[in-house]
Structure 1
């Protein structure tokens, strides 16, 4: 009996070790996505504002990370009443998730999700938002706003989790949450100087370094293979699920890139490479909710739709004079919404298109609409408060000169005589 007990303990220890290595690697890959956000967004803005993007992403990590440690994680994964929890910090108690890794390691991988959500906003407010006002918003978002959505979706007692809501890696809790916050922030800030003519027509403001943006896009693409498979939270016993998630993630992203290329070619007569980058990201965002429950053919269809939807959404927001320099609202907000609802359509066993009825579709639609509305309304209110107090927008002089030189005293590219 003692020998059997020893073997069981050794097996349990091995499982903990393997799963810990798996989650730690995925968490590190997710953390690298911040470099992707920084390069993508910096490349899509003008050279005079590139370093301000870097500063905002550093604030996302540093301020957002501390906020999520001190307050956010406990709100998300503490003892929930269905809507929020009162715990502070990282509890040592069983979280009810069946984890085979420590709560601290689970916190670290969840940190990657929190700072990814807020990094979506940094691109939409680029070239015109005050850095300290942005830092305040980051703290509130990572301490309270995102954790509430995570509580609803991933806490075992969350009201959406109890309903059977399926958001495997965050199309709704991360991407729609960040995308609709970006929408509200962009509305309150208003467009950049010179973006729109008095007659309403749009002036293109091209990014200064599209290869840099492309590299950022590739880093994000790579990072998604930590983001989605890492959400299994264990490797032992999940080898088939991990394979499904990885395959679906790639197929949807590739399909998103292809459909954007085809759509822009037939619409404009040439392929828009900048939109193709966002098309890949749109496919990734859209498949993130259902990568665990759809088959490969469905993943391709979801990606194809997302790749067209992102271009249509970018044009729509530009038409109604919402200035989003990097297309964050279209990529993350609109496709987070679509991807979450797509689960209710394409889930292999319970989706509407596979004979599962309307129940899952209704739950998915309810969840993403509540999360998107919550994110938009709270962000809008907070931005108005910041606007009335510390101010949210740099002065016209700073905006024309460039935030880098005026606010940070540095430039991205120094010219040597």
Structure 2
């Protein structure tokens, strides 16, 4: 690879960008980045300029020869890039607010990546990511696509199935958050803990937990049963698992499992929170407003600690760790979304899975986990069916498939209910779902 890496970040005006810049600064010795191109759309121009100027001050303070470029021209940013990171939100936070509020009217969970919200975020996002892939095929065919955009599993599935870009890795901060939380529970440094992850994005399980290579899963499960909270991320507050359930499951659930194993409680809580404080999207809008005011300060030249409230903890660590391991052929083990290739026997070989993998210069090589335990296999397969049908609906604009996808999802109780929600959400997101309305008009 040429000396001096070019990174293109789509969604560069995101409030998370300072996390990413901090990661590249901290790892400059092993990752010689010479150019970072932050790309956004016209509606994100003001935020891009604010975040971009903070990024420039951060690099200047670190005294590193990294050029920060700000642009609304995606193609210019992608030309000859080595790595492309994606962290965008089609429809911005207003669309997320609709994803969260509309399902609640039907007593169905309103959440950004699960249930109806996850479906509609996928339907809006997949055509855009496939457009980026098309540009990459032409402008940087050898680049790696590192996708952080949610729903990360469904997006990775769509790229693998519907584009010729195969150098794609989906990334999420949930597994690294679980590792950090368990290290904290055990009161040890994170580097000593390893978890065997297997499943799907936001539907991943820790099948094994090791401290210095020795299994401590039983100790961790026993410790978790005594906790009053079943979550480890800012945007999900859990209730604590029933000890009998967790011991019989014999695996570490991720925070998003609250939505599947505690659906009733989570719907009630989400409705109550929405009534009292607004949806999570509305809370985030206020947080972001405060963050961007901070970012504007010409004296600020570091990532402000307030960013942690945003819910993206360890984001830069996960992203930069992955990019560095590919670039340096480190062959360390990291949890990623990648092609299954037989690693999980219970899922199709060609599908995207979230799994611990050895990270090489040729990309992730997933660790073979065999069959998932029977206790979790069915739920994981059901969500994979949902992701597959949803991705096909996004690409074809097939209304019937959208209804089918939502009916398959375990968070929706009937096909009639699925149809009602799809109809209302299609109408609400009409501007960002042209593929469905073009089909209707034709």
TM over 0.5: no
**Relative to total residues, which structure has the larger strand share, 1 or 2?**
2
What TM-score bracket applies, with the shorter chain setting the length?
under 0.3
Asked which structure has the greater RCO (Cα within 8 Å, sep 6+), the reply is 1
After TM superposition, the score normalised by the length of structure 2 is 0.26
After TM superposition, the score normalised by the length of structure 1 is 0.27
